[in-house]
Amino acid sequence: MAFWTNRRSLLAGAGGLGVTTSLGACANGRIIGFDKVRKTLDISNQGEPLSLDPHKASGSWENNVIGNMFIGLTTEDEKSEPIPGMAERWETSADGRTWTFYLRRALWSDGEACDAHDFEFGFKRILNPETLSDYASILYPIKNAQAVNNGEMDPDLLGVTALDDLTLEIQLEHPAPYLPQLLKHYTAYAVPKHVVERHGAAWVKPENIAVNGPFKVEKWWSNYIIHLVRNPSFFDANNVVLEHLYYYPTTDVNAAARKVMSGEAGWSTRFPSNQVETLRAALPGYVRVAPYLTCNYFSFNTTKAPFNDPRVRQALTMAYDREFVASQIYKTGERAAFSLVPPGIANYPGTARYPWMNVPIAERKREAERLLRAAGFGPNNPLRFEFSHRNTSDNPRVAVVAQNDWTSIAPWVSVELRGVEVQVHYANLRAKNFDAGDGGWIADYNDAKNYLYLFETRTGAQNYAGYSNPAYDQSVHLSDFESDAARRGELMNQAEQLALNDAPMCMSVFINSTNLVHPDITGYEDNLEDIHRARWFGIREA
């Protein structure tokens, strides 16, 4: 009897399971995030683009979309290394200041020729102050770019000239061996001159736009979806596999992960790092963690007491237990930062380090106390300051660790924490309205200059620490005018060591990129820039 009951309940159970599965399977209209038949990929992107105009973009989530629509003189391969894009080859003059690019014959998606004139137009447009580009400043190595961008010079005097339809000459202020890196950045994309002249700012609307890249925007529904379709006019269109890309701005990382777990997205450009183990178990083969061009660091306001004394800054930098933060707060293998420039940067020796890097933390704290006492602090003159931090993601938890490390140097050190909304926080940093404050930095291209720039005197408000060291400025300046890549790297490395010794900042951790990627997507390669162009994606058949 018991046997029968069991068998019946087993059968009922099986029937129930069957119903559930069939409902799941025949649920018509269910989104398949990576649809191999329709060659469609749904992507959880970490934010809503503020613009699809490459000259007005400024975020990595915008780059994720725009970089699939436009191609610069150079472009990214699967590993985000620079390879020929619209330019088939280029030559550099002996002094490294004149570059000549030879373009391939190619078309815009509306059938018009995409040539050197579009590039000349593009560079002049982004640097024209009327365009109001946030990001034009990264093109300042181009001759006269800064003066043009500041409105002090006519854009026609910019050092970019179309010698003929397929030859473009770029003159530089100083040698820049990293130019191929820079020219694959979205600020250096060509825009279709004929369309921009016809439609003005509205050229980028889906009904007007023309692109030279592998995909073209079909629809953009604010803060919800961007639909790209394959562009048959793209010069390498025959090798582009995917037909449709749908981007969803998913600011909530948990929702982004759920969308992949439910199969509605084939790729999420982020996931919650504290759930990495759960995700590894639930989604075998999806989790991708890789070193990234991002660092978190704290700035000390060197323009006023107590942080105008380098000993105080050195003491606090030394006493901060970044290994603990890297291993306990972050869960995806983040690395403690003992340098300003992350490891693995191109053309860079990367040997600059905090000198006490291998000293155990307890000993570092004793040394920190000695430094603070030497700076005149002690039981009768306690060190008190405020540490402001962004109140987002893991930053508040990191702040508590820093507070604990600093107050444990000596009983007369006290730190008050202040969590601030991101926008307000950066406004305070720029106005030097802070004692010590956290911040993050994502480099725009793979070059050490991108980090060293943060501490140059001429950087102005974004040099939050207000750090000013003539020797540092001089080294960085010299490196700008050095055409030999190895020598240039050496100069920058020296500058980095100076900044680490002076400690206007306390380096915290190098953040990793985190992606969830359907294992059947081929052509996705982990890389330092976290740039993955859909042009390279293919489909692995089971």
Q: Which segment (26-34, 346-354, 470-478, 531-539) binds other proteins by CB under 8 A? A: 26-34
Nearer to other proteins, 225 or 478 (CB): 225
d(CA 173, CA 480): 9
Which residues face 512 on adjacent strands? 291
Residue 426 is a binding residue for other proteins (CB under 8 A): yes
The C-alpha torsion from 207 through 209 and 213 to 215, rounded to 10°, is: -20
**Mind giving me the DSSP string for 64-88?**
HHHTTT---SEEE-TT--EEESSEE
Please identify, among the stretches 93-101, 270-278, 423-431, 495-503, the one whose residues bind other proteins according to the rule CB under 8 A.
423-431
- Could you tell me the sign of the dihedral formed by the alpha carbons of 76, 108, 58, 495, in that order? positive
Q: Please state the closest distance from residue 78 (CB atom) to other proteins, in A.
A: 27
Q: Does 440 bind other proteins (CB under 8 A)?
A: yes
Kindly tell me which residue out of 64, 133, 187, 497 binds other proteins, with binding defined by CB under 8 A. 133
Nearest-approach distance from CB 206 to other proteins, in angstroms: 10
Question: Which residues, numbered 34-63, are part of the site for other proteins (CB under 8 A)?
Answer: 42, 48, 50-53, 56, 58
Stretch that binds other proteins, among 186-194, 298-306, 401-409, 459-467 (CB under 8 A): 459-467
Q: Does 79 bind other proteins (CB under 8 A)?
A: no
Q: Which is nearer to other proteins, 96 or 439 (CB)?
A: 439
Q: Judged by CB under 8 A, does residue 223 bind other proteins?
A: yes
Binding of other proteins by 439 (CB under 8 A): yes
Q: What is the b/e burial string over 112-121, where b = at least 16 CB atoms within 10 angstroms of the residue's CB?
A: bebbbbbbbb
Among residues 9, 239, 254, 274, the one that binds other proteins under rule CB under 8 A: 254
Among positions 5, 222, 358, 380, the unique one binding other proteins when judged by CB under 8 A: 222
Distance CA 259, CA 272 (A): 13
Of the candidate residues 12, 14, 427, 486, the single one contacting other proteins (CB under 8 A): 427
Among 389, 295, 292, 395, CA closest to 337: 295
Q: How many residues of this chain bind other proteins (CB under 8 A)?
A: 63
Helices (H) and strands (E) in the chain, counts: 16, 22
The answer to whether 274 contacts other proteins (rule: CB under 8 A) is no
Q: Is 6 in the site for other proteins (CB under 8 A)?
A: no
* Sheet strands (E) in 259-345: 267-268, 287-300, 335-336
Nearer to other proteins, 411 or 460 (CB): 460
Cβ closest to other proteins, residue 404 vs residue 433: 433
The answer to whether the bond into 355 is cis (omega within 30° of 0) is: no
Distance, CA of 67 to CA of 214 (rounded, Å): 9
Is residue 388 within the footprint of other proteins (CB under 8 A)? no
Pick the binder of other proteins from 95, 134, 156, 165 (CB under 8 A): 134
Strands (E), 118-173: 160-164, 167-171
Q: Compute CA distances 208 → 109, 161, 456, whole Å.
A: 11, 27, 42
The single residue among 9, 12, 18, 30 that binds other proteins, judged by CB under 8 A, is 30
Distances (CA, A) of 293 to 105, 342, 343, 489: 34, 7, 9, 17
Q: Does 430 bind other proteins (CB under 8 A)?
A: yes
Q: Does 23 bind other proteins (CB under 8 A)?
A: yes
* Continuous H helices in 165-282: 179-182, 193-199, 253-261, 276-282
